[in-house]
Every structure is written in structure tokens, then in C-alpha cells.
Structure 1
């Protein structure tokens, strides 16, 4: 992988080791059978690197490698629900007194949400990128788009902080809040706090790629369901919502008067996405075994067979996600 920082689509890789458990080779690559940090289970239950939701000490290293975020970005872009964009555009066009759009991207990672959404919206945009990882914030700013759909200017700023502690004041003047793959690493209380902030500020929220807890593999295998159940249980560790997050978020926003729409946004992985499929498989099975260690021997055989099918171009996977658009009631008397 090219380690040189570039602008215009290529995400620079994070310098130095990604974590303390799996050093990179001298050329910067990783062993073929290793899991890129972020693709597999987090070292501590209930934690993710790009959105560190709880204080765990200043020395804790990041656990989302830019390599993983770059690997999944095309699949994320293809999966996001385009059907939610028209109602969002209508809402943004009707916002009163706005010279341009102020968009907060929560847990932005390397900025893939901005690269997907900014060129699909008209008008000048100022993106405020939030993350706990300073490396990823730097990459997100460097590789952000510079123009909107109509050629208007796109600018960015970065803010390092904890997105679980947002308040309506922090979102004052916001036109839109976005996030990708965020809701499932929140607790019920954190989602309610998040919904309070968005609805209190009267701004819409576009929240994409929340895990739905369903996976389809072709050809099927008797262990598919068992691994899925164990993985889903792993996602719920430490009070996190995992595949229940989208339902809880819908309820939280609706109870606060927002109009909510949900659309499916599945990853559809085939031979052309073999590298992503392989990393996803290792992480998916690894999390299941971490949750249920008694699966280890059978899971190792299962993974070997699945990896062989992936390498042969014979494996197809659908990983189900959901996208949510919450249109909060505007503040200030706007309709």
C-alpha cells in the first residue's frame, strides 16, 4: 500500500504501528492472515477507535487503521441509500437564513462520508469533522472534497472530541449532522443524548451503515447462523446496541418529534471485493469466537473453507445495514 500522503481520493496511511498486537512488515504491509485494526473485535469490549465514547486513558492507541477504512470505502459508498437524499435536499433547500451549509460529521474517520455526500449536495458547504483520533482527522481534512455538486466551495475544519457528549449548543447553527457506522457502537443513553442534541438544535441527521444483524453467504454453510448469533452478541457487549441501534434511534428521534425514514444499505461483496471480504470474514469470525470460545475449533475450519472460497472467487456475501434520515422540527419558528 502506498504510504505517501495524496489528495484527491487516496487516503494516506497512518504512520507507525496501528496497535500493539500486530506489527506491520518492513514495507508497511501486514501479514496476509492478520486482521487490520477495525476489521476485527476491539481489544476491549464496547470500544472503537474512531469514536472513543468513554474515557479509557490518554495512552490508549487508536484501533481503526486507515487501511481498513480505505478498504471498505467503495463498499460503503455503493451501499448508502440514495433514496434518502431527495428528502434531505428538500429540507436543506428550505432552511431559512443560511448562506451555506454547516455539516457536522461525527466519528468522521478518514472522511469517507464527506467524500460521498459533499459532491451530491448543492451550495457552499463547511464541514466540521469530529473524531477522537488526530491522525484520522488529519487524513480526513487532507482528502476532503473541495467542491459541491454545483461547483460551490467546500471547506473543512476539524474538532477532536467525544461525540457521545454532544449538546444542542455544540450544534448551534448546524444545517446537518452526519455519521457513518456510528449508531451500533452507542448505548441507549448515548443515542438518546445524540437525539436530544440534534432535535434540540433543529437540524436533520443522516446516519448511515448501521449494522442490521443479518448476513447472507452464498454458498451457505450450517455454521453461518451460529457465527452470526455469536457476532451479534459480541456487538452488544458492554451495553452497546449493535444490531438493535437502528430501532432505538428511530424511537428516540420519533419521540422527540422528528420525522424518520429508514432504508436498507447492504454491502454486496463478490469476487471484485475479495480483499474486503477476506478482512471482514476474519473480523466477523474472530468476534464470534471471542464471544463464544467454545466455537474456536469448528470456527477455524469454517474460516479456512470460507477463505478458500473467497480466494477462488466463489463466495458472495451480503452484509445488511440500515441508513436513517431524521428530520427534526426546525427551531426558530421555521416550518
Structure 2
């Protein structure tokens, strides 16, 4: 989940936030989706994998995945933020799980303009924490492009609309509902999918004959992740109050209590996400 934007500003994240969340992201991604992905790539991919990472940020998805796949790899790292691309291009691991070389290039641009031709020669399309920031039409276009190009896709860490805080408080449910509504808001003329993204993506890919496997990928935050939990809490509450200003009167004291509990090592948070593995229909992969 990216740091929530405000108003009609585009979503923008900082390298600091991405670095803070990288460990939780890595621990959350669903490893059970990798075996069927590896099997598919072993049957269909050429000697060198070409992997396109959409909305790559500083490259955390590539750092997590490159060492879990075999063989030579070339990563095409795509993002609209040139500063993030600099970090991404400089930080990939140098080798795959079997020692094969890993190379990378960066491409800046609008991810919503990609079509099947942009994925020509691509072995795998991947993205992390991206789908919930797209509209239904944008996800549908992505599905069409991947299936037409015959590309599998690994789409990780889409928000699922649930946050479980322990110990619980009565205001948790209202904050969660307001945050989810904020994630689904219309901004700049675009209605974002938010927690509806995994279901929308599944429908879009399956409609085109692809096989979609899903798996939960929750963040599990406790005493060892206090800095991340506090930063997430501040963004979560701020977004909820932006959506529902009537919560503001209670939000300050709520946030103070939650941060005190976090600093004392007494707060646990399970923030639910969903990972999707998409395998194209046989006729598209041929």
C-alpha cells in the first residue's frame, strides 16, 4: 500500500517510505505462487527471462524476485518517477538463484498507456502495490495487454480492505471504512479501485481465458516494526479523516493512544493484502 495522496494530487511515494516498508513487503508476499510461476516459465520462456516491473518504485519487487528465479534475467523497470528509477536501477541483485546474470534498464512513463506491443518479447509482467491505485478500465487494459502478448503476471500486495489492530478499539472499524472509501475515491477524474482491485483484476483476466491464482499476503506488524507501524498509522488516520472529516475530533486522541501502544511494543497490526498469479491461456502462450 502506498502512502495515501491528498486531494487530486497523483500518488507519489518517497524512497524513505519504500525503504521502511520493504522488509514487511518481502515477508508478506506469497511464496506459494512462485512454484507454479517457475514451472510455467521453465516450459515457455527462452534462455533469458525478460521481466517488466510496473510501478517499480525503488526496485523492491525485483530485489525480492530476481533471486527466487533461475537463469539469466533482464529487468525493465518502469515508473513515472525519475528519482525512484535512479534507486531502482542501481540496486538490483547481480545474480539469479542459480548464479545467472541479472541486468536492468529503466523506463520512465505513464503505466496506464501500456499495450500488448509494449510486452512483446516479455517473459513476465510484475507489479507490487499497484493495482489498487488504478481504475477498472486501467486494470482491464492491463489484462488485455498481458493476455494478448501471452505474458504471465505476478501482481503482489494489493490492499484487501481489512486492518486488524490488537488490542481492538471501537473506532477501528470506522477508520477502516473511511480509509477504504478514500482508497476508492475519484481523483483527477479517475475512480480508483482500492480494495476492489484484486476482484476486478481476477475478473478481467479470467474473462480473457487466463488462469488466476490468489493468495493472502498480509503485513504482520508488531514490536519489531514500530517505525513502520507508526508511519502507516499516521497515513491511515489522515486518509480516513480526509474522507470523513467528522472523524477528526476523535482522531487525534485515537492516534496518540495507538502510537503510545506502538512505542511500548503493545500494538499488533495485520494489514491484509492479496497476491495474484496470472497464467495466460494456452493459445495466447503458444
Bin the TM-score by the shorter chain.
Answer: over 0.9
Runs of 4+ deviating beyond 2 Å: 38-41, 43-47, 329-334
Change (3 A) 1:69 1:315: same
**How many residue pairs were aligned?**
282
1:89 — aligned with what? 38
Query: Residue 303 in 1 paired to residue 255 in 2?
Result: yes
2: CA distance, partners of 1:333 / 1:100: 17
Computed over aligned residues only, the root mean square deviation of the Cα atoms, in angstroms, reads 1.3
1:161 matched to which residue of 2?
109
Flag the 1:207–1:176 CA change in 2: closer, same or farther, 3 A.
same
Match of 1:274 among 226, 232, 256: 226
**1:228 shift after superposition:** 0.1
Alignment correspondent of 2:281: 329
Paired position in structure 2 for 1:14:
none
In structure 1, what is the equivalent of residue 179 of structure 2?
231
Q: Equivalences for 1:177-192 in 2 at 5 Å? A: 177-192=125-140
Aligned match of 1:144? 92
1 CA distance for matches of 2:34 and 2:14? 29
Tell whether 2:155 aligns with 1:204: no
* Higher share in helix: 2
- Select between 74-83 and 294-303 the one with higher mean Cα deviation: 294-303
Deviation, 1:169, is 0.2
Is contact 1:203–1:329 with CA below 8 Å preserved after alignment?
Answer: no
Equivalent position of 1:65 in the other structure: 14
The 5-angstrom pairing of residues 276-295 of structure 1 reads: 276-295=228-247
Report if aligned partners of 1:270, 1:313 keep a CA contact under 8 Å in 2: yes
2:44 partner SS: coil
Deviation, 1:253, is 0.3
Q: Distance in 2 between matches of 1:46 and 1:168?
A: 29
TM-score (structure 2 length as normaliser): 0.96
Structure 1 match to 2:26? 77
Find the counterpart in structure 2 of residue 248 from structure 1: 200
In structure 2, list runs of 5 or more residues that go unmatched.
none
Alpha-carbon distance change, 173 to 39 in structure 1, aligned in 2, over 3 angstroms:
closer
For the pair 1:194 / 2:157, whether they are aligned, the reply is no
- SS of 1:94's partner is helix
Higher relative contact order (CA 8 A, sep 6+): 2
Kept in 1: contact 2:222–2:265 (CA 8 A): yes
Displacement of 1:48: 1.2
What is the deviation of 1:40? 4.3
